[in-house]
Every structure is written in structure tokens, then in C-alpha cells.
């Protein structure tokens, strides 16, 4: 199954807009800095990964009850607010 098949259309658009590489998304899921539960939806989780090229933390929101995980969206956050 191709990697992009687990990205929602929303995620594909946001990754392109935000210049988020799919390999970073995959790395966040495979080896996250940490995983946080979603505050509103118990089926969603947030995987965080420090991306040195951007000096930021990537937050990947995904549905963890599917295999492969269904990626909802991803965005960068300032690294200061996270332990790197």
C-alpha cells in the first residue's frame, strides 16, 4: 500500500501548504518524541517529532485505531514549547 494512501485529502493539502515532507510524517509515527491523546476524540492521537531542518516540532494528528494510521493533518510548532 503506498504511503500516501493513508493521508486524508485535507492532510495532503495541508502538507503541501506547510511544506511538510511525508518522510517526516512517517518518522513522527515510527519514532515520535512523544505521543499525546487528542482532547476531543479518543480515536485520535498526536505524534510529535523534532525536525532539525526546520528547528521546529512537527505535530501529526492521526487516527490510531486504523492500520495503517489514517493521517488527519500535520503542522509545525515552535520547538521551545517542547522538550527536544
Encode pLDDT of 10-25 as tens digits.
999 999 999 999 999 9
CA 17 to the chain's CA centroid? 14
At 23 the pLDDT is: 95
Domain count within the chain: 1
Please name the residues in contact with 48: beta carbons below 8 A apart, sequence gap of 6 or more: 28, 32, 33, 34, 35, 36, 57, 58, 59, 60, 82
Q: What pLDDT shows up at residue 51?
A: 97
Query: Which range marks the domain in which residue 15 is found?
Result: 3-81
pLDDT at 81: 62
Instruction: Give pLDDT tens digits for 32-78.
Output: 999 999 999 999 999 999 999 999 999 999 998 988 899 999 999 99
Look up the pTM and report it. 0.88
Amino acid at each position: 500500500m503506498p504511503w500516501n494512501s493513508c493521508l486524508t485529502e485535507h492532510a495532503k493539502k495541508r502538507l503541501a501548504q506547510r511544506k511538510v515532507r511525508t518522510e517526516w510524517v512517517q518518522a513522527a509515527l515510527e519514532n515520535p518524541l512523544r505521543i499525546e491523546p487528542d482532547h476531543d476524540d479518543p480515536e485520535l492521537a498526536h505524534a510529535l517529532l523534532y525536525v532539525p531542518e526546520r528547528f521546529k516540532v512537527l505535530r501529526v494528528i492521526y487516527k490510531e485505531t486504523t492500520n495503517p494510521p489514517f493521517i488527519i493533518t500535520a503542522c509545525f510548532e515552535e520547538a521551545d514549547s517542547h522538550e527536544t
